[in-house]
Structure 1
Amino acid sequence: MSLDTLVPLSPADLRNARAENPKTRARDLAESLGVTEAALIAAHVDGAQVLRIDAGLDRLFPAIQTLGEVMALTRNASCVHERTGTYEDYHSGNHAAMVLGAEIDLRMFPKHWVHGFALVDGPRPSVQVFDAAGDAVHKVFLTDASDRAAFETLVRDLRLLEQSDTITLTPRAPVEAAKLRADNAEALRREWGEMTDTHQFLRMVSKLKMNRLGAYRVAGAPWAFELPADTVTKLLHASADQQIPLMIFVGNQGCIQIHGGPVTRIAPMGPWINVLDPRFNLHLRADHIAEVWHVVKPIRDGMAHSIEAFDAQGALIVQIFGKRDPDTSAFRALIERLPRKAGA
């Protein structure tokens, strides 16, 4: 059930709530009101300062590429990934699309890019896209170095005729809990060992009636090792201390955003563990992490090692790989020194 069916607040109610809480983040305010973030933004649509725009990737991304330097943000319920750079090298696709820029690296799944908005007012104009349930898929914020004239052109060209302040949302799909088949364990381990590319993994486990987390629990060594819940925090600190470059993947059902490079400033703040570097920020709710796995997958030229964190419902929060600079041996050595969970 969508949050918006629980509390029947009108667009005027939502605008009043925003006016009374101008400094509260939109996501936090929406949650406190029992509505989705998309509904809160839609309530402010006036066709001038907040507008509905076309969320279709093949129109949106060529326009975003004209903005110059911006800040890209992708998040899920437990982790926020922010990367400053320029959108470059957009690749279209009906089922999956990509941005392969030097700093902004994305994988997008177009069917989830449903509700698009341009927020014109304020010091940080933005483009924000939400899925059918009203959850944020991806956001683009202008910086001091952005091309404001190009943003005005984007808004004009992508503006929709319909500029309603109400929004129709569909029920949010529940998180799929760990799905495992112990009777398929032998087949899983055999086919896992025959992989030559990490992209083969999800097709393989689906065929065996499992999902990612379920497969990790079934496979065990030498492919999956459970680690303590504080492993990601330890990994970030160790990577910063040793300047081991990482690939950090954070996503939702509509977008995955990737940081490739070192992390430097690691700052805990309450339940959050943060990376606060000049062009990359990560904000991770460490207290949401229920399971962490060291995962090994065969690839054509060796083995791919990753650290993957899940919440208590089984949702994937973050994946961390070593960056090939020129290889991942330092990352592998680091994670093999990390403590394993008792019995793993």
Structure 2
Amino acid sequence: MDKDFKFKVITEASSNGVSKTCEKYGISRTLYYRWLNRYKAKGIDGLSSAKKDFIPNNKISNEIETALLNLIKQYPTYGPKAIKYLFDDLGYKISESAIYNIMKRNNLSKKEERLKFSRKQQTKVTTALPNLNEILSGECWLFWITDYGYYNHLGHIYEYTLFDYKSRIACSRLYNNITFSNFEDILTSTAMPVAKTLNLKISYLCFFQSCKIMNISTKTFNYRINKILDDNGFDFKIHTFMDKNEDLNRVNILKKHFTEKTSSFLVPLLNKDITFLELKLKFQDYIRNYNIADKHIFDIGEYTPVEYHNKLSNTKLILPIWAYIKREY
């Protein structure tokens, strides 16, 4: 829209009314007042279309944000203004404030945080796993989310599960939404402590291609995984099962079997008069019993998941004491 048209709209609205004029020309009142404010500030020249020399923050693509984070990693002592000059040289046009917002969103607004970020190694992503027959107990963990739907008295119910491929030790919790924070919670408050106590050497953390947590956190997923590993002393590779992956059928069988067991426990409770906290604690008891009391058929006989791991690793370790008591989260 040229400035003459905008001026015509402003002039007409002053005599015929804003609402009527906006309706006539098919524009919003918000847009009209934006033009009016520009006219009041700079006259008719203020109505000329402003040329944007930067990419708005809400239009920044994954590719641009990744390039910016890589640049920050190379020059961690540089602030938003200096980074903008470098980014301009690379052919990107983005405002200093947008760069600062990206820094802030990724916890990089302070120089100390950027220096720590620059020292981190990129998360190792692998497109292939070792032969699953040779995977050791505790070495390969699967992650998925089961959607149980919405219930008026409970809200939306999602079951987050971290599951060891070999031993079938499971860490599962219930949440009301899908967020990276929930994934971080179950990983750091259950799976990692269990791994440390049982000396599980996690080498691979595997996601399914349809896993929504990866779609939600695409921009900073690798960085945030890195931070969790760094803070907790772990180092493993990330793997995503693709639709044509030869291992997918084998892991889907385990996933299906476990989900059927948890569903048979949860579904009857979901339709009862129960609070979400009560549901979570009951489910916590169920998962504890699954790991230490329920027998499963393995290649060498019937064992609980913890017993089977102890058999394979020739240990007598048990789950940490907190695994035996009810803990709110």
Judge same fold: TM > 0.5, yes or no: no
Higher strand share: 1
Give the TM-score normalised by structure 2: 0.23
Give the TM-score normalised by structure 1: 0.22
| Higher-Rg member (1/2) | 2
Higher helix share: 2
